[in-house]
Structure 1
């Protein structure tokens, strides 16, 4: 088990998760080379790191990995569109990032004899028929549906990573990330939390797809990054689920976000999404046992922090309120289902 890394590559490092990961690595004293083509990431996410002696940004596409030079003892591959709006818009690019892009960074890690960590996804499980989802479950995925460009890109990336580990001796691990959220998400990226937060802050109707009875498990970004680094600091090959096992109905989450934002927005039901998973909840037994990791942030605290961040970004006058009786009631309802 490593006590620390000297120099790391983070692909997709200007994205939501990647920027938090870069910051945490630099804080640990690791020199970081962040590679991002900025197709979905943003320079603003890494603005606080620019000029830091331990941070370097390289503008480039992971499928044509730039010559970044030198040796690395950690390679973390996060480069991929991750929101449904983005991977629908960048369908071929998403598949290329999961295929050719993964092959490029695996080759880099092998050359440097570095620890390699693949940021995979709970989408591996598709619309699961096992609940909660454990790493031994193979999934229930439509290989040609609208979500398939992301699902299958990640499944192929997992297969590539496993092949490099088994047949070429690469020290590699796979993390399956469940519904991470927090600061640095784009308000318009189409995912549930930023959409509900933006709508609540703008006093717009919160658009819940379908009945809202489908479930999700939200993991605050600080916990997700902690899990990725816990995996990096071991030689465990994974796959390992990283997520919060507290499971909530989407309608409950919409109501909680609205109430935490002090908003009077109504709830509006819109048409369901093709291949939208009906239930999503990780079994994190393996992460607890092998990594000593478990999420520390409950949904209410993580959402409060996220709302406060968005309120500043969106230039609103919102001050995150002290929970009212209505909010406390919503929190009790959530706790009773978790």
Structure 2
């Protein structure tokens, strides 16, 4: 769906994007993750033909960009930075003009607009002028515009910007539903929690370089440790003979790779078990491993 080879962009002496090789596959929910200022938005703009690369190759939906970007656009929906709209017009009227400018089919325009507004939660306020919209509502309207043509590929740059926690959850569920129906999602974000909950595949960029790219399930591998919660922590520590690596109150981190065997040992030793869970690496662990010092503009929540 998206392939880049050696994608590079310079602005004078500033190297914004440095030899990035993206591999976004059909059916992915791909999280393009990096701190603010790491080159994410510049990369997205190059994928859409809005900025020309200094060097390197781009293919989107099998079409070379920017040379053949016009052939890819009918099957592609995008939301980049703050979506533009005529402030004195309603959201519905803005979508109608946007669809007409993109040469959308007139006979299906009304039902497609209805569906897009419903999907993003704007159906009840669609007659209100956009100047009365909140930042989150404007973001939803931009997403509605990206959905008008039921795209095969959706390219989103910080799509939950300005949304409250409920809005973020609704957009996440919408993107999962779209992906389940066949839309590949490429989402740029600096929010670890957002990417970890939504995405199936991740690319991490730091200072313009793609430092890691893999399936999220592979990255979040088991650590060989088990998280144990017990009202008998002292007894558990004595029983497990040096396997306890960390203790905080009634929660223990135990070096063990077999939860069933550990549970049997604890029960036989009369240790009450409230919870046993295999410990996995978090996305935060992965990011901290591959990004350099000073890459501190990641966020967990808005």
Q: TM-score, normalised by structure 2?
A: 0.28
TM-score normalised by length of structure 1? 0.26
